[in-house]
Structures are given as structure tokens and as C-alpha cells.
């Protein structure tokens, strides 16, 4: 098992469940994003029964009470590891999210999305943000940390900066893992290879990465996973 890999299940329910059963002994956990909107809590229970850590990439971004209620709905599940919120919402929302998660279990950690892996300087400017990418990441990382959020999601190129900024106890999750020949071939702009991530985060038990398309789009997902981690 690779202790630092979450596999993103951007698939239909049946395919996602089948893939999880196939590779669960070779990864740390699974990430469920848009699929959560389709299957809800009842669908999550199917994955929960597989006894594998679950990363609910919900990206909650609502008023504080609604966000807290959404997180509280996860209380029936025993293998939730992470749940995500948007750091651009509000300080009060982030604090309420943490409070809701900790009321369920100290094991559930709230992660703040800083910028997405498709973000560029141009996309920030389009929505009225004048900071450059690194300044924006720093600003939101410090803000979410001050609100008690347990960790952040950010492109790999910001890993070292965030670790230095927030210290050793903050979880850092790096999405957008690609092989060198896959970089720049989809909508993910901020990507690194698994080898690059592993080198940066060596011996960091609070760092994880997310690998999706290179696994689930493969004709042989398990073999592709093995090739990624052994390069």
C-alpha cells in the first residue's frame, strides 16, 4: 500500500465502486468529488463498508449553518478522513465547518481549497483577484489556518512554501499528479509527477497526493498505478 495516495473516483457509481475494490490494497484512500452529488450519504455507505479512508471532496461553500449541517450529515460514516470547503467563503464558515467535523469525530479533518489546479493568473484576474498566484495561496493558507482548518489543498509547486508557512502539523494535499508525458494535456495547469511529489514530501506523514485520470482512464488501472509509483 502507498501511504500517501488518494485515488480520485471521477466515475459513475458502479465503476467507482469496482475500481476501489480493485486497487484499495495499493493506495491509502479514495477521493469522492462530484460523485458525492449523485450518490449522497447512502451511496457513500457502500464505500465506507470497504474500510478504506474516504476523502469527501465536497468543496462546501455556503452560509456557515448550511456548511456545518452538510458536514454533520457525515456522522453515520466511520471512514471519513477529509472533507473540503472553499477558503474564499468566510472566516465564520470555516470555523463552523471545523466545529461540525470535530463534533462528529476528531478523526475527520477539514481541508481548505486554496486555488484549483486549473487556476492561472488570468483566471484569478477574471474574478477580480489582483494578487499573483503565490500571494493568493499564501493569503488563503494563513487565513484558513487561523480559522482552525486542519489542512489545505494546493498545487504541488506550493508545497514547500505552505509547509514552511503553516508548520509540520498542517495537512497538505496535492492534486494534479501526472506523468511527465501527460503534463499539459488536459485542463489541469498546475501538475507535478508522483516522483516529484514523493521527493518533496519524503517522510512527511501529513502530506498526500491525489491521482485520478492516469489511473481510472487506463485500460489496466492497477498496472498503471504500479508504473506511476515505481518510476
What is the C-alpha separation between 228 and 194, in angstroms, rounded?
A: 7
What pLDDT does residue 178 have?
Answer: 77
What is the C-alpha separation between 30 and 221, in angstroms, rounded?
A: 14
Which residues of the chain are modeled with pLDDT < 70?
Answer: 1, 115-133, 179-190
pTM greater than 0.85: yes
110 backbone dihedrals φ, ψ, rounded to 5°: -95, 130
What pLDDT does residue 88 have?
Answer: 80
What pLDDT does residue 191 have?
Answer: 80
HSE value, Cβ hemisphere, 13 Å, CA-based, for 160: 7
H/E element, 138: helix 133-146
What pLDDT does residue 182 have?
Answer: 53
Q: pLDDT per residue over 186-230, tens digit each?
A: 545 568 899 999 999 988 999 999 999 999 999 999 999 998 888
Classify 48 as helix, strand or coil. helix
Catalogue all structural domains in the chain, each as residue range(s) with its CATH number: 5-230 (3.20.20.70)
Classify 167 as helix, strand or coil. coil
Q: Quick one: cell of 27? A: 493506495
DSSP designation for 62:
S
In degrees, to the nearest 5, what angle opens at C-alpha 210 toward C-alphas 17 and 221?
50
What pLDDT does residue 99 have?
Answer: 97
What pLDDT does residue 196 have?
Answer: 92
What is the C-alpha separation between 105 and 83, in angstroms, rounded?
A: 12
What is the C-alpha separation between 150 and 158, in angstroms, rounded?
A: 17
User: Pick the catalytic residue: 59, 81, 109, 138?
Assistant: 59
Q: Quick one: cell of 127? A: 474574478
DSSP H helix total and E strand total for the chain? 10, 8
Classify 14 as helix, strand or coil. helix
Question: 5: which residues sit within 8 A by CB, 6+ positions away?
Answer: 27, 28, 29, 194, 208, 209, 210, 211, 225, 229
What pLDDT does residue 52 have?
Answer: 97
Q: Quick one: cell of 144? A: 484558513
Q: Can 107 be counted among the known catalytic residues?
A: no
What is the C-alpha separation between 170 and 172, in angstroms, rounded?
A: 6
> Could you tell me where the beta strands, DSSP code E, fall in the chain?
5-8, 29-32, 54-60, 80-86, 109-113, 151-153, 171-174, 207-211
Amino acid at each position: 500500500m502507498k501511504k500517501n495516495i488518494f485515488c480520485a473516483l471521477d466515475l459513475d457509481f458502479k465503476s467507482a465502486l469496482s475500481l476501489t475494490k480493485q486497487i484499495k490494497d495499493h493506495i491509502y484512500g479514495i477521493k469522492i468529488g462530484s460523485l458525492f452529488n449523485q450518490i449522497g450519504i447512502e451511496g457513500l455507505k457502500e464505500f465506507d463498508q470497504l474500510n478504506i479512508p474516504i476523502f469527501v471532496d465536497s468543496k462546501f461553500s455556503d452560509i456557515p449553518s448550511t456548511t456545518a449541517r452538510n458536514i454533520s450529515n457525515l456522522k453515520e460514516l466511520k471512514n471519513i478522513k477529509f472533507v473540503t470547503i472553499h477558503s474564499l467563503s468566510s472566516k465564520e464558515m470555516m470555523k463552523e465547518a471545523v466545529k461540525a467535523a470535530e463534533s462528529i469525530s476528531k478523526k475527520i479533518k477539514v481541508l481548505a481549497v486554496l486555488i484549483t489546479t486549473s487556476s492561472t493568473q488570468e483566471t484569478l484576474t477574471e474574478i477580480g483577484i489582483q494578487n499573483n498566484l503565490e500571494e493568493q495561496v499564501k493569503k488563503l493558507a494563513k487565513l484558513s489556518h487561523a480559522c482552525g482548518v486542519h489542512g489545505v489543498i494546493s498545487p504541488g509547486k506550493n508545497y514547500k512554501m505552505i509547509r514552511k508557512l503553516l508548520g509540520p502539523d498542517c495537512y497538505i494535499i496535492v492534486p494534479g499528479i501526472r506523468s511527465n508525458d501527460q503534463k499539459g494535456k488536459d485542463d489541469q495547469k498546475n501538475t507535478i509527477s508522483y516522483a516529484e511529489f514523493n521527493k518533496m514530501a519524503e517522510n512527511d506523514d501529513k502530506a498526500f497526493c491525489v491521482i485520478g485520470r492516469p489511473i481510472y482512464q487506463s485500460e489496466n488501472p492497477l498496472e498503471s498505478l504500479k508504473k506511476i509509483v515505481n518510476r
